[in-house]
Amino acid sequence: SNGFSLARRVLIEGEAPLSLQSSFGSLGTLGDALLRPTRIYVKAARVALEHDVHAMCHITGGGLPENLPRVTPENMGVVIDVGAWKVDPVFSLIQERGAVDDEEMRRTFNMGVGFTMVVAPDRARQLVDALEAIGERAFIMGEVVGRDGVSFHS
């Protein structure tokens, strides 16, 4: 639901608008892709609580840059490897058609990362495996570091 105004302007109101009925691969139509409901992560959160998770964060408005600082201690930050996951195709389409820069995309959308968990490095792989065992798409996307803010690298 976040960024829907930008998505609408870029995809269906701009130059060469797309049809909401146009095919969008395995997601059905473009309209289907844009109207997918927000996921609820109750099962994943319960699994995380069994694995000494330090923090959990639902990535909503403000994306990763504004949500992750809410769960990191003062004077700590997060470095994110943007190659750790495949960006949802609808976000790639919006970015390409609207010539939207990476920073705005990350601030407006979750880029396919709906929920994050912070766990000790030696527990990360075990948590990923447990989440995958319940059908979640899980991956290690970065690390907590000793400086403020959220930074991205590839």
Query: Distance (Å, rounded) from C-alpha 133 to C-alpha 87?
Result: 22
For 102-150, what is each residue's pLDDT tens digit?
A: 999 999 999 999 999 999 999 999 999 999 999 999 999 999 999 888 9
pLDDT band at 80 (very low <50, low <70, confident <90, very high): very high
pLDDT band at 1 (very low <50, low <70, confident <90, very high): low
> For the stretch 1-40, what's the b/e string if a residue is b when 16 or more beta carbons lie within 10 angstroms of its beta carbon?
ebbeebbeebbeeeeeeeebeeebeeeeebeebbeeeeee
For 16-71, what is each residue's pLDDT tens digit?
A: 899 999 998 887 899 998 888 888 999 999 999 999 999 999 998 899 999 999 99
